[in-house]
Structure 1
Amino acid sequence: MQPYFLPYIGYFQLITACELFVVYDNIKYTKKGWINRNRMLRNGAEAMFSLPLQGAPDHLDIDQRVLEDSPGRHRWLAQLKGAYRHAPQFGVTLPLLERIAACDEVNLFRFLHNALLETCAHLGIDTPIRAASAVPADHGLKGQDRVLAICAALGARRYVNPIGGTELYSHTDFAQHGIDLRFLRARPLDYPQGGANAVPSLSIADVLMFNPLETVRGWVRTHYDLVQPQLT
């Protein structure tokens, strides 16, 4: 999986569902993805927050991108503080966000990797997280072929992907390599967000701000289904 900044709860459910979680560091950075940005709730509506990056050529990989070194580097933290200052679990969640912001790493991947480790520790997740470049596989491959190569290098017998990837991977191809392909489908969450209308699939920060930590830990462990795809 690509690394994301404070991703939605389904990302952490995926980590929980795995014995080892491999996160891409050596893959092209994409501006329109969720690598260095996410969504929060502000005044009852979704709003974006992001990690500002130094300008760089479009072809660079995630581990070659650098955070902007300026006073506004952690503007995202001030935004989240302002948006959730009245949330019921603000006092429990803010220390996590402050620990993430306190990381002095300017390399984008290493900062995101640390943020994932901090959040997983907060959620009680102990799944090992490994950078893809540390796996002895052919990283010149693309898409499904690269995933299969990484699985082979690790001796994996099951590969779990988010439900959105059902069109990207072939059950038959994985089965031919002795790998059980499954897709994780997060169950809908319904919790009060301090407004009239619920906004789904926001950053994990939103879930943590409005729900007791033990409740969120339970959702991370159990509030999803592993779906077996049809033969293709």
Structure 2
Amino acid sequence: MDTMNATRTEQVIYEMLTENTGRHILDSGGESGRSWQKNQVKSLDDFRNEARTQFDAKYYDATVSLFHHLTEKLTYSQEWTETFNEVAASNAEMGWLELMESFPTVMGWERLFTENSYNRESLLSQVIQYSVYHTGNEVLVALQIHGGADVRGGYTAPRIFFMDYEYDLLSENASIFCTGDAVDSDGPHRFDWSGGEWTHEGDYSKEFDPYAMSQRADLLKLDYLPCAICGAPMRDGAQR
């Protein structure tokens, strides 16, 4: 894939994912264990080519690529980012979060809410912190990516993006599949994560949660995670 064909939004998200957010002896990141350090060995094409969802069937854990999540939902605004930086330069005593929350007041906009994905159930591969604004005509978001080891610090400088709907970043959509390798199976079956719950063909059941599948595996003494529909092993690894 040709990096030269990357969108400006993709380039900015990549810059944020690899931004050096510092090191501190108390943040448990060691010499090279912080997210920004791990990301710096990757190219933009590596992020573009990675699976949108990764599923670990052993630990029944699904992870959504933050790169894909952000580039699918956001469009970078250089103009508003430059304006934000001008306001920040005039208020050097303020921290990033305080600036993000006060910026709409300076601009005469409405701040809708501020969110940190660490404070809720999230499948994202990294923590994000953001503040959503309504200008009267558009929805904007000031976004930070957590690049450190300790969630209390290590956030990037904010960038401003356009967003279609105010809750877009809360919508973490993921799909996982079974192999369909079971007697009389009509699989593979797909389970979708949306709104904090797992569903199958739009229907919700607690049995569709990978953790519930793991409990079934323990009960039946299986050495694999069984599909809640047909019992076939769940597909491990990259998902579309």
Question: Rg larger in 1 or in 2?
Answer: 2
Say whether the fold is shared (TM-score over 0.5): no
Task: Give the TM bin, normalised by the shorter chain.
Answer: under 0.3
Of Structure 1 and Structure 2, the greater strand share is in 2
Per the normalisation by structure 2, the TM-score is: 0.26
Of Structure 1 and Structure 2, the greater helix share is in 1
Per the normalisation by structure 1, the TM-score is: 0.27
